Amino acid sequence: MNYDGKDVSDKVITSIFPNKEEFKNEVKSKLAEANLVTFTLGANDLFSLILDSVKTQDALKIVKKFLDKKPLLNDAIIFFNNLFKDSLPEIRKRLITFISNLKTLAPKANINLISYPIPMQLLFNVLNKYVSNQLLQDLVKLDASNIFIEIINDNLQEVAEITSINFIQTYNNKFW
């Protein structure tokens, strides 16, 4: 798959898989016989799209307000809404394409999409406390990382429903 000309070069793939044709055929053969396929959303696509979205916004304005401890909740909401406005539909489109191809390659398989966890949970907890306590002065308890993960996982669940595969929610905010 090639996303906007960002396809991995043949040279890189060959360096990882010197016998790529043999490997590709083996994977296809195993998928054709598989009765279970489980996968999760990779961070590379998601964060690449989010960073592309950040580049189109005035992120420095938001950062400066936070550093000056003059956060405007409205600015933050608009900023995060714009982050997801473009990146989530693209992720959904890519996932639907991937699942469609996977169903063709693994016609007998029960396909499961696993929810996305919060990477570096402790770091996100510190960031959440800083935002709520220092920047918002405890006016609003804002758990930004949980909101972020819930938005992503809600979209993953919708894609699973659209494509008639299973969605397994493994993230539990209270437990993690």
Per-residue pLDDT of the chain (176 residues; tens, 9 = 90+): 454 555 667 777 788 888 888 999 999 999 999 999 999 887 777 778 777 777 776 666 666 766 666 656 666 677 777 777 878 898 899 999 999 999 999 999 999 999 987 666 666 677 667 666 665 555 666 666 777 788 889 999 999 999 999 999 987 766 66
Residue 56 within any structural domain of the chain: yes
Report the pLDDT value the prediction gives residue 29, as an integer from 0 to 100: 97
Residue 155 within any structural domain of the chain: yes
Report the pLDDT value the prediction gives residue 62, as an integer from 0 to 100: 65
**Roughly how many angstroms between the first and final C-alpha of the chain, as a whole number?**
34
Residue 10 within any structural domain of the chain: no
Residue 124 within any structural domain of the chain: yes
* Sequence-ordered list of residues with C-beta below 8 angstroms from that of 50, at least 6 positions apart, any chain: 83, 87
Question: Alpha-carbon distance 19 to 22, whole Å?
Answer: 5
Domain count across the chain: 1
CA atoms within 13 A on the CB side of 157: 11
Residue 123 within any structural domain of the chain: yes
Residue 163 within any structural domain of the chain: yes
Domain around 103: 34-168
